[in-house]
Structure 1
Amino acid sequence: MNADTQVSSHYAPSPHGMYLRHFGLRTAPFGITPDPAFFYRGNTRGELLDALLYAVTQGEGIIKLTGEVGSGKTMLCRMLAERLPPQVDVLYLLNPCLEPDEVLHAIAAELGLELDGCRADAVLRALHGELIARHAAGRQVVLLAEEAQAMPGATLEALRLLTNLETASHKLLQIVLFGQPELQHTLDLPQFRQLKERITHSFTVPRLPQALLNDYLACRLAAAGRMAPLVFTPSALRRLAHAAQGIVRRVNILADKALLAAFADDAQEIGARHVRLAIADSPFHRPPWHAGKLVAGALSALMLLLAAALLWQWLMPGQAAVPRTPRPAQPAPSTLLDSKLAESRGWLARQGPQQLVLHITSLPATETAAAEAFLQQAQQAIGLRDLHVFRLPGAASANAAERLDIVYGSFADRASAEAVWARLAPTSPQKILLNDIGSIRTEMKAVTPAQTGRGAP
């Protein structure tokens, strides 16, 4: 292994940028920013948008739309603003925690009025005058208020009073409230009876059912540039649906992480394992109490870092070390280390010389107990399919000691390897290096049958 193959510790490639080409995408398909280019019309979203457009253009009363956190309310808000006719002026009220006077100033600022320092009654008069002028010019003004469930009661009442601004035949200000289900609970209180009576249209964003999950994923992938369907296996869809509970933001987060996991496996379909990794690596995942730190730690870096960090603690100076067990003169009974060494030699013979691996760590060949414990931990956490162990000579010196090298994966190019490394890098306790299959083969040829106790590979 030479210095040229070391991955710079200051270089962290974008995970999305790495998997886009692998899956034939122009852009990341599962971002959580409400981009209208990714609007999904299924599951009544299209009908809701059409209904909102109709209700706003009618210009009567207050409109309310509620839905769970992450259900797609902000996307509908953005789509509504984008699809409204050109004669409609759209105002946004993004901060729900404003007091009544502050709300009046915020709306005035959205209308381009400079009224800092003015009293509330002066602001209200200026708003009325501006809205009348816009109406006379053939303009319609709509206020989109997000997170309305968090508004103080007095602020909701102030918005209701704004709907009193009208001509003989038209409301001067249309208000659309977007909020979580708690908004309806607030409106059901007796003190908000008048506000509730002003609501002429009320809509609810439904959860995404499992039956439409694959259609939703396909829609997002196509919008991101995917030409052919990307297969999510039935078991992957079931896991994803169960974890997301119909919340599209969760679907996006989990699908994005599942694509990263599949990319790391060099897979072209998303399986249950990839979704399982995504679920355990997501902020809303709560593992059962008996899984505890094992699951959370194992999945923080493609399920590999748990065992690597544990081994690092064993090998660091000043830490309690695992007792060193001298290698017996006669072969010991078969262990996980023995079987993995033999399996890895066969795996090595099948790889192309230009394939790359991530070099996880090395330890003296006499540290069989540490290596065995490492493999046991890795087997429990991630399985051993992509983990390989080789017995190699030490550095070229008279006193060089034989060592055990532990590597991960097999990658066709540096970019693919670095994408996996990028997941390990933020929390990895040591530098992760790249090595190629040809170098490992060359080093192994220097190990004689007498050293290994076995035939050369």
Structure 2
Amino acid sequence: MNAPVSAPHAASPYAPAPHGMYLRHFGLRTAPFGITPDPAFFYPGNTRGELLDALLYAVTQGEGIIKLTGEVGSGKTMLCRMLAERLPPHVDVLYLLNPRLEPDDVLHAIAAELGLELDGCRADAVLRVLHGELITRHAAGRQVVLLAEEAQAMPGATLEALRLLTNLETASHKLLQIVLFGQPELQHTLDLPQFRPLKERITHSFSVPPLPPALLGDYLACRLSAAGRTAPLVFTPAALRKLARAAQGIVRRVNILADKALLAAFADDAQEISARHMRLAIADSPFYRAPWHAGKLLAGALSALMLLATALLWQWLANSPGKTAATVRTAPPASQAFQASQASQGHATTPADAHPGALQAAAARAPLPAPSTLLDNKLAESRDWLARQGAQQLVLQIASLPATETAAAETFLQQAQQATGLHDLHVFRLPGGAPAKTPRNTSAARLLIVYGSFADQASAEAVRARLAPASPQKILLSDIDSIRTEMKAMIAAKTGRGAP
């Protein structure tokens, strides 16, 4: 009778049937590289063990808020599970699994975790009952800790509600200990001025490091041993190099790729994992990218290409001071766009198919809208982006040009899109009378092109320092609030002109 087939991995596209044979082939009791954070597979290397000890110490001290951040797939949830498992018996562990709850819902969720039936109660009533329950548990020698995952996704009001819960205390002890687990964006949020009170409550802050290539073999051996493998399973040096390059230190990626490589080796009836097996695993993975997208090489390439695109824009402006938007065509004329559209739908577009006078009459009856350009789309997208930013967020002003130079801006955006993408690039049409700190202080309306969004000046200065040496113009800092002020002034001016 064949051994039972193990459940397929959530991330693996392979059919579950071969998995049982895969396990027997390599002498395994269970799949060694699942992505579910099973404490039985905890790897204590690469400071994971030290981080767990530090978390245990910080929680048992019972003071303030604890924060642990790490990249997606770096092992935060595993540490959360290990912390819950290793805490002393007198500690009651609560989980906050849904980060998008509103403040009142958070209170009800915590009450439910404590076994309190408070459905339909108002928030102030829930808080009073919570306070009483926490005091009762403290008097009985119990300690309560709340583990909140995906904290970077919490609404600001919910983070503030958690901070206020730390006010529940006796003369000498906090009644509720909170541990926040989140991605690096959590730190960016905490750096915003409005979250300074919460940031001040954080007494211990930890970060999960990526897994370095030198420890890959040790990590794989640890997982294989936990899965029942008694003899070493060889991953060739070439396979490990490919794995390190593709996974970029993210343990979830290591698990996904190692699992698929084992399946590829099983298909070859091999007892070692070769570079070919790893190459097949990488090509089948959803996060596969061309080699130049990896790690620091990606950051360097993006910076260099952004500089190139920016320099081309500045060069265009310097060499063509008299050019207008009509000088450089970045989209076909409206008539050509109309003809192309009609042709694609099977309609006649030539004088042989219709009388010229009829075409002119039709055009007069239904004037064509101007074709949407990359600049138009980016202007609209940037307005939405601006509304979501904190007032004190900083940006880098990389160019400012007259609003009439739409062709120059369109050319720049096309070059930047091909070189780096436009995610961190934003464009705003601003009125005349620019503040002195903008690159061009002109009285005419202008297009302002900015880069990035930074929580503090140090972060912005670090990026500006990398860009400045290659920039023919000075790159200046500005804040979101000043851009909003100018946008409001432009809207007010338009409203005033349109008033009777």
**Does the alignment pair 1:100 with 2:103?**
yes
1:122 aligned partner: 125
**Does the alignment pair 1:261 with 2:234?**
no
* TM-score using structure 1 length: 0.60
Cα deviation, residue 17, structure 1: 1.2
Aligned AA (2:235): F
Distance 2:68 2:79 in 1: 9
2:69 aligned partner: 66
1:249 aligned partner: 252
2:444 aligned partner: none
Q: Which has the higher contact order (CA 8 A, sep 6+)?
A: 1
Aligned AA (2:215): L
1:144 aligned partner: 147
Aligned AA (1:151): M
Aligned AA (2:123): A
SS of corresponding position for 2:44: coil
1:23 aligned partner: 26
**Does the alignment pair 1:272 with 2:275?**
yes
1:168 aligned partner: 171
The answer to whether the Cα contact below 8 Å between 1:91 and 1:143 also exists between their aligned partners in 2 is yes
SS of corresponding position for 1:64: strand
60-69 or 13-22, which deviates more: 13-22
| Residues 73-128 of structure 1 deviation map (CA, whole Å, 9 limit, x = unaligned) | 00000000000000000000000000000000000000000101100000000000
Moved over 2 A (4+): 12-16, 286-289
**Which of 230, 235, 240 is 1:237 aligned to?**
240
Unaligned segments of structure 1, at least 5 residues: 1-11, 290-457
Distance 1:78 1:244 in 2: 23
The answer to whether the Cα contact below 8 Å between 1:160 and 1:195 also exists between their aligned partners in 2 is yes
Distance 2:284 2:209 in 1: 26
| Residues 204-235 of structure 1 deviation map (CA, whole Å, 9 limit, x = unaligned) | 00000000000000000000000010000000
Aligned AA (2:71): E
Cα deviation, residue 283, structure 1: 1.1
**Does the alignment pair 1:51 with 2:54?**
yes
Aligned AA (2:214): A
The answer to whether the Cα contact below 8 Å between 1:64 and 1:178 also exists between their aligned partners in 2 is yes
Distance 2:165 2:111 in 1: 12
Distance 2:41 2:115 in 1: 31
Cα deviation, residue 286, structure 1: 3.2
Q: How does 1:23-422 map to 2 (within 5 A)?
A: 23-287=26-290
Aligned AA (1:183): L
Unaligned segments of structure 2, at least 5 residues: 1-14, 293-500
The answer to whether the Cα contact below 8 Å between 1:70 and 1:248 also exists between their aligned partners in 2 is yes
| Residues 41-71 of structure 1 deviation map (CA, whole Å, 9 limit, x = unaligned) | 0000000000000000000000000000000
Distance 1:109 1:208 in 2: 37
Q: Report the CA distance shift for 1:288/1:135 in structure 2 as closer, same or farther (over 3 A).
A: closer
SS of corresponding position for 1:26: coil
| Residues 128-152 of structure 1 deviation map (CA, whole Å, 9 limit, x = unaligned) | 0000000001000000000000000
Cα deviation, residue 13, structure 1: 4.8
The answer to whether the Cα contact below 8 Å between 1:280 and 1:287 also exists between their aligned partners in 2 is no
Aligned AA (1:87): H
Distance 2:21 2:160 in 1: 50
Distance 2:242 2:111 in 1: 48
Aligned AA (2:56): L
The answer to whether the Cα contact below 8 Å between 1:56 and 1:142 also exists between their aligned partners in 2 is yes
Distance 1:180 1:288 in 2: 25
SS of corresponding position for 2:109: helix
Distance 2:139 2:63 in 1: 17
SS of corresponding position for 2:180: strand
Distance 2:76 2:199 in 1: 20
1:432 aligned partner: none
Distance 1:13 1:106 in 2: 37
Q: Report the CA distance shift for 1:89/1:264 in structure 2 as closer, same or farther (over 3 A).
A: same
SS of corresponding position for 2:118: coil
Cα deviation, residue 15, structure 1: 3.1
The answer to whether the Cα contact below 8 Å between 1:93 and 1:106 also exists between their aligned partners in 2 is yes
SS of corresponding position for 2:272: coil
Distance 1:18 1:268 in 2: 13
Distance 1:16 1:60 in 2: 47
Cα deviation, residue 16, structure 1: 2.3
Distance 2:209 2:278 in 1: 23
222-231 or 13-22, which deviates more: 13-22
Cα deviation, residue 14, structure 1: 2.7
Cα deviation, residue 285, structure 1: 1.2
The answer to whether the Cα contact below 8 Å between 1:27 and 1:224 also exists between their aligned partners in 2 is yes
Give the CA RMSD over aligned residues. Answer: 1.1
| Residues 366-407 of structure 1 deviation map (CA, whole Å, 9 limit, x = unaligned) | xxxxxxxxxxxxxxxxxxxxxxxxxxxxxxxxxxxxxxxxxx
